[in-house]
A and B are shown apart, each in its own frame.
Chain A
Amino acid sequence: SQQGEEDPQALSIQEGENATMNCSYKTSINNLQWYRQNSGRGLVHLILIRSNEREKHSGRLRVTLDTSKKSSSLLITASRAADTASYFCATDPNDYKLSFGAGTTVTVRA
């Protein structure tokens, strides 16, 4: 069963704007990861945030984690057409078995 749930399901923004998506999960976690998927194929790891971290940055990505609310957010700043993809959060309630949400589909319009 899926542990994580992304919100919104779909997001359409203009190039240069920021995109924010959220992930909620049900059980306690050790870490939370965000992945990107282009064209329904392989996933690319974006960032991992540990349960004792609150915020993490990687380039134009900013991830927050609130374990008290069991939620995380992914912010993409200054979006580009190449950011068009589906974004998934993944949690590890059982150490190695990542549990993925259904994803947020982001479309960046030129």
Chain B
Amino acid sequence: GAGVSQSPSNKVTEKGKDVELRCDPISGHTALYWYRQSLGQGLEFLIYFQGNSAPDKSGLPSDRFSAERTGGSVSTLTIQRTQQEDSAVYLCASSFEAGRTYEQYFGPGTRLTVT
């Protein structure tokens, strides 16, 4: 079946503008994750959704970042008043369930550039 999809693939925005990044997880996957990867770095966990439970937002770097997941499927990551340090690749992943034995399937990412 279809993998995790993300849109847009690339986004260039001016400092101070808001951006929305979208993630469509694999159908049937109940867990959804957002990560951020800065140039040459590993992945930084941002937020996690599992079913209808309250999301784990512990990785969000500031209150300018927020995310929602509607209907247990599509998720949107919003960054308000973007700063240059927000430039990175934002990766979404989903898994069948949250838990220690499930691999995560990643989307192709959105490359965000803040000018």
Is A59 located at the chain interface by the 8 A CB criterion?
Answer: no
Q: What CA separation (Å) do A90 and B107 show in the bound complex? A: 17
Give A73-110 interface residues, CB cut-off 8 Å to B.
Answer: 88, 90, 92, 95-103
Closest to B91 in A: A42
How many Å lie between the Cα of A95 and that of B95 in the bound state? 13
Q: Are B45 and A103 in contact (CB under 8 A)?
A: no
B50 partner, pick from A45, A96, A99, A102, beta carbons under 8 A: A96
Interface size class of A (residues with CB under 8 A): 20 to 34
Which residues on the A side are within 8 Å of B99 (C-beta)? 95-96
Chain B contact-residue range equals: 20 to 34
Given contacts A97-B45, A101-B42, contact A31 B101 (CB under 8 A): yes
- Let me know if A97 and B106 touch, CB within 8 A: no
- Find residues 66-115 in chain B having any chain A CB closer than 8 Å to their own CB: 89, 91, 93, 95, 98-101, 103-109
